Structure 1
Amino acid sequence: MRRPTIHDIAREAGVAKSTVSFALNGQPGVSEATRRRIAAVAHELGWQPSRAARALSGANAEVVGLVLARPAGLLEVEPFFMRLIAGVEAALGADDIGLLLQVVGEDPAHEMEVYRRWWGQRRVDGVLVADIRVDDPRLPLLAELGLPCVLLGNEVPGSGLTTVGVDSKAAMVAAVAHLRALGHTRIARVAGIAEFQQTVLRGQAFAEAAGPDAVVVSADYSGERGAEATRELLTSDRPPTAIVYDNDVMAVSAVGVAAELGVDVPGQLSIIAWDDSPLCRLPHPALTAMSLDIPGYGAAAAAALLRVIAGERVPDTVFGTAQLVVRGSTAPA
């Protein structure tokens, strides 16, 4: 079927096209009764505003964007982003704002091209920016474009961009303190992507809290790399008695590797996961985890972005600190 136009609405309502335009754009010069009648006809015909026309008029797109520079295969099994997006959608839906999601693989340059295109075509009113990196090349571009944004990360001095983050350092200190209280001294960490801001912050806290025998192996949040790192640690000359994982997918994979190598969890190896998705309750034993309200985090970031889009000066905020949830995967050394 042909898409209904303002001309169709004007014919059905018995008014001029200019009257329809004034009514649908909230401009003065139209009585309230006429405005209601035109809105009813537009709804009945299924009329929607043209994206191109809205861009030319300078009107808001009523859409915000989120670009994920991650492998599509990882997103199939990584619960974090689905929970984050659920929170974002809950906050945006209350204001009838849409979310435009694009997955671009592991190429930050591709992500930057998406921002240029979206903003040039006025397809979005603003963006949420995930996976903040050290010396992140996206941040100068976003500032140069003037694209309203909120960074899902901790404060970046000098960027001039609003951040909504979590206290990664305090959470890591709590995780290590739990293991030390159980008598563990050989504690290892399987870390996320090395250049990510949160990986660096957790690393600083881990180095300070875990002691001189601490070991860190870098991974990429995938189950495959998490399993490889676990096998590397458990077959080393001085295997750790406890390992902290930077996400739940890698921690779940570790349980299988430990069983394969004949290492009892938690009798010989204690495991702490991050993010505490339902995955953490599937293995036996269930995984001790650092738990954060991820949907709430997404909703808080989306709410901050809507304020930035509205022209407000929004201060950097810390949403919260992940809390330790003790289950069966940790025990005395």
Structure 2
Amino acid sequence: MSNAGRVTIAGLAEQLGLSKASVSYALNGLPGVSDETRERVLALAEQLGWHPSSSARALSRARSDTIGIVLRRDPSLLGTEPYYMSLLAGVESELSETGRSLLLRMVGTDSGQEVAAYRRWSAEARVDGVMLFDLTFDDPRPALLEQLGLAYVLHGNRETLAPGKVLLYDARADAEVLVTHLAALGHRRALHIAGPAEFEHEADRRDAVGATGRELGLEFAFAASDYSMGSGERIAAEAIAADPGITAVLTSNDLLALGAQTALNRAGREDVAIASWDDSLLCRLGTRPITALDRSPEEQGRRSTRMLLDQLAGAPTPDHRARASHLIPRATSVPAPAPAAR
């Protein structure tokens, strides 16, 4: 089956009782084999950990002109996440200027399906490179992509994650902008509704928010969430009921902010300030538009795409940093209530 333990096309063909040509067609997504045969070949290749040689991979991928993105999101909910919709618009815009295409897959929350997608894309030579989001602690994906020989770009806060392959955000600078704004409004106790605790960027945000808050005399309570409007509403309602001294809410995205605002409105607490880490149309609508950080997600999509295309071309990318964020104060930038008279 293999040379020195390496799985080969000849070995796969022998085990499956097929010709080497049929196995090659199946692995490379070419016509000439039935769907049933292709599925058999791909299933065995994935089981045995087969991946193409670097020379074959380079030849095939030079012709794909496609980059891939796998999102661990429910496909039915993607339209409710303005950040990703804007970022993908930036990716598509940059690709359209170079005649390339985007292959997008949404696989729910199962990390195994994401890994399987990368393995299949590699085996079929479907994409030239991929983009990664929502890095977790000890994330296996960079090492897997290195093994598969797929070019990639990460969206993250630390260059050490993959030197030269990270579009860098500045969690500390973003936190300073948001927390300084709330502190200047006189708030001294706030709630930070963050995203999932396993994401590295959420840990970075939490550390930066806590550190900046301590410097400015603003104490934060923290709660993790799944980024949904329902979670924002539930967490804000519970926190305000348990601690009426909270006078400001900072959320990790716009949906959480909208949910928090719904809970606060229901409780008659329009005196509580709200600020979102992400801006979108959702933050601008309604009778009380929400203060938010404009992080330019469309430009982020363009920059990360340029980085990936430069990497594929063997060209340097002069700037690996995302555009600096800026705050847009709106109606929810309310000052802290005056202390009750004794």
Interval of TM-score (by shorter of Structure 1 and Structure 2)? 0.7 to 0.9
1:254 equivalent in structure 2: 260
Deviation at 1:159, TM superposition (A): 3.7
Moved over 6 A (4+): 53-56
Q: Which has the higher contact order (CA 8 A, sep 6+)?
A: 1
The C-alpha deviation readout for 1:291-312, integer Å capped at 9, x for no partner, is 1211111000001100111133
1:111 equivalent in structure 2: 114
- Counterpart of 1:69 in structure 2: which amino acid? R
Q: Distance in 2 between matches of 1:158 and 1:152?
A: 10
SS in 1 for 2:98: coil
Q: Distance in 1 between matches of 2:91 and 2:278?
A: 17
1:205 equivalent in structure 2: 208
Question: Structure 1 residues 183, 57: closer, same or farther in 2, change over 3 A?
Answer: closer
The C-alpha deviation readout for 1:284-333, integer Å capped at 9, x for no partner, is 21111011211111000001100111133557722123211111101210
- Counterpart of 1:52 in structure 2: which amino acid? L
Aligned-pair Cα RMSD in Å = 2.1
Q: Distance in 1 between matches of 2:116 and 2:159?
A: 22
SS in 1 for 2:236: helix
Q: Which has the larger radius of gyration?
A: 1
Q: Distance in 2 between matches of 1:189 and 1:237?
A: 13
CA contact (8 A) 2:283 2:291 kept: yes
The C-alpha deviation readout for 1:97-138, integer Å capped at 9, x for no partner, is 000000000011210111111011100000011111222111
Deviation at 1:206, TM superposition (A): 0.6
Alignment size in residue pairs: 281
Q: Percent same amino acid at aligned positions?
A: 35
CA contact (8 A) 1:74 1:222 kept: no
CA contact (8 A) 1:91 1:302 kept: yes
CA contact (8 A) 2:87 2:301 kept: yes
1:226 equivalent in structure 2: 232
The C-alpha deviation readout for 1:22-74, integer Å capped at 9, x for no partner, is xxxxxxxxxxxxxxxxxxxxxxxxxxxx9638989634201100000122343
Indicate which of 111, 128, 143 corresponds to 2:146: 143
* TM-score, normalised via structure 2 length: 0.77
1:301 equivalent in structure 2: 304
Question: Structure 1 residues 57, 330: closer, same or farther in 2, change over 3 A?
Answer: closer
2:242 equivalent in structure 1: 236
Indicate which of 21, 25, 30 corresponds to 1:52: 30
1:23 equivalent in structure 2: none
Question: Structure 1 residues 156, 166: closer, same or farther in 2, change over 3 A?
Answer: closer
* TM-score, normalised via structure 1 length: 0.79
The C-alpha deviation readout for 1:267-297, integer Å capped at 9, x for no partner, is x200001221111011221111011211111
CA contact (8 A) 1:162 1:315 kept: no
Question: Structure 1 residues 307, 51: closer, same or farther in 2, change over 3 A?
Answer: farther
Segment drifting more, 159-168 vs 302-311: 159-168
Alignment of 1:4-43 (within 5 A): none
